[in-house]
Amino acid sequence: MKKISIAFILSLVVLLGAESCSKLEPTLPKNADLLDGSVDGLSSSENQQFLSGDKAFNDLVFTPETGLGPLFVATSCGSCHTGDGKGHPFTELTRFGQSDSNGNSFLAQGGPQLQHRAIPGYTPENLPTGATFSKLIAPVITGLGFLESVSDADILAMADPNDANSDGISGVPNWVSLPSYISPSAGAITQNGKYIHRFGKKASSYNLFHQTVKAYSQDIGITSLYEPHDTYSGLESDPEVSSQIIQNVVFYLHTLKAPVQRNIDDADVIQGKQIFVNIGCVSCHKESLTTSYSPIAAISNKVFHPYTDLLLHDMGESLNDGYTEGGALSYEWRTAPLWGLGLAKNSQGGELFLLHDGRAKSIEGALNYHGGEAVVARTNFFNLSDTDRKKLVKFLESL
């Protein structure tokens, strides 16, 4: 009887322990401390597609058997976009061959992107002699659905190509022709048959679908129904990724949540934000934008805070690599959204690699590279007292 009692008690303890075991497991980090995760308010079917896209984006690793390369930069989407945050120089890519708005003159020599890696048995590309180039690291990818849903009219309203208000800021959209597989969005505005592009460091991608199709082709060497030409042979081949997978990835990118600001009640952060406004950073890094109608209700007609105007600006000679895309000039760069900046270290291996190629190792360092239209804001920043500078940096780190 004693044996049975002990065995029964032990079994009961194990069963009760099993029921409460999750309390002894690692807890979920705070939502604001994570970049990945879906936007609130998705329907069940939208959540399912988000999960499918998440899987394709982060877990679908290509191998030579499934179409990788033969020339490539990375083996999966997630390789470059770890944790959906800013990328690392380890997966930087190089674009080359276009020095002005007249197009890329090195397309026949592998342009516009250098595939500097190759599967066994193949030789990767080398930079052609005489080609100007830029090295680019992956941007943060959260909140992109909100950026895509800003209307062309709103972007144009922020543009000031002739600096009519004499503030020294003259942002312009990047007008580029659409590839045949892209349909213009509702309310799209055209100029000489060209459309406003908004994604990428030079704003040379029209929308997330365009960006995704190009990335499969140029970054991983994966052909699709939309970009059927192999980057090595130049020949058309069967799709190596299905259109459904591309749609799922695009949906995933569309519905990643916007980064959440932290420490918003901190006095230094509040004052830092005011300093950010006072010294003129907001002239380009617009705090709030509004989405237009989107078939995804969770991102339709919402005000959000990306700290960008999605326009190209002259950033001066120190950021002029001599390379450009679309109608942008080589010293023009699209205003980088600042949201998620405070979490960049968590996706860049504990260090900071800021600006288009990761050359700046700190926020102050990045500001120091600002020239052209941003020279006044940069001068104002370095004229601040140490205390005010720290408050401004603290504000930026809260984003």
Residues 6+ apart with CB under 8 A from 385: none
User: Smallest distance from the beta carbon of 113 to another protein, in angstroms?
Assistant: 15
By the rule CB under 8 A, 36 interacts with another protein: no
Are the C-beta atoms of residues 145 and 294 closer than 8 Å to each other? yes
* Tokens representing residue 216 in the block: 């499969």
Give bridge partners of residue 360 from the DSSP assignment: 354
Rule CB under 8 A: say whether 123 interacts with another protein: yes
User: In the window 249-268, what residues touch another protein (CB under 8 A)?
Assistant: none
Which residues touch 234 (CB under 8 Å, ≥6 apart)? none
Give the residue among 51, 113, 53 at the shortest CA–CA distance from 77: 53
Q: Is 119 in the site for another protein (CB under 8 A)?
A: yes
32, 52, 89, 287: which one binds another protein (CB under 8 A): 89
Angle made by CA atoms 35, 182, 246, in degrees to the nearest 5: 45
Measured from the CB of residue 61, what is the shortest distance to another protein in angstroms? Answer: 4
By the rule CB under 8 A, 317 interacts with another protein: no
Q: For residue 133, give the 3-state DSSP assignment.
A: strand
Tell whether residue 28 is a contact of another protein (CB under 8 A). yes
Q: According to CB under 8 A, which residues from 48 to 67 bind another protein?
A: 59-61, 63-65
| Contacting residue, 42, 49, 57, 76, with another protein by CB under 8 A | 76
Near another protein by CB under 8 A: residue from 46, 50, 57, 82 = 82
Structure tokens at 211: 């960006």
Shortest CB 68 distance to another protein, Å: 8
DSSP 276-331: HHHTTGGGTS-S-EE----SSGGGTT-EE--S----EEE--GGG--S---TT--TT
Min CB(85)–another protein separation in Å: 8
How far apart are the C-alpha atoms of 21 and 309, rounded to whole Å? 48
Would you count residue 228 as binding another protein (CB under 8 A)? Answer: no
Query: C-alpha angle 118/123/128, rounded to 5°?
Result: 105
> Which of 72-80, 142-150, 248-256, 283-291 is the region at the interface with another protein (rule: CB under 8 A)?
72-80
Q: CA 242, 125, 112: angle at the middle one, nearest 5?
A: 65
Interatomic CA distance for residues 339 and 277, integer angstroms: 16
Q: Is 90 in the site for another protein (CB under 8 A)?
A: yes
CB of 252 to another protein, least distance (A): 17
Element of type H or E holding 195? strand 194-197
The minimum distance between CB 21 and another protein, in angstroms, equals 5
- Distance (Å, rounded) from C-alpha 313 to C-alpha 204? 14
- From 70-78, 165-173, 288-296, 298-306, span contacting another protein (CB under 8 A): 70-78
Q: Which stretch binds another protein (CB under 8 A): 1-9, 162-170, 292-300, 331-339?
A: 1-9
Question: Can you tell me which of 9, 12, 14, 153 binds another protein, judged by CB under 8 A?
Answer: 14
In the bound state with another protein, the residue whose beta carbon lies nearer, of 105 and 346, is 346
Q: Rule CB under 8 A: is residue 347 a binding residue for another protein?
A: yes
- Residues forming contacts to another protein in the complex (CB under 8 A) are 3, 6-7, 14, 17-18, 21-22, 24-29, 59-61, 63-65, 68, 72, 74-76, 79, 82-83, 88-90, 92, 117-124, 346-351, 353
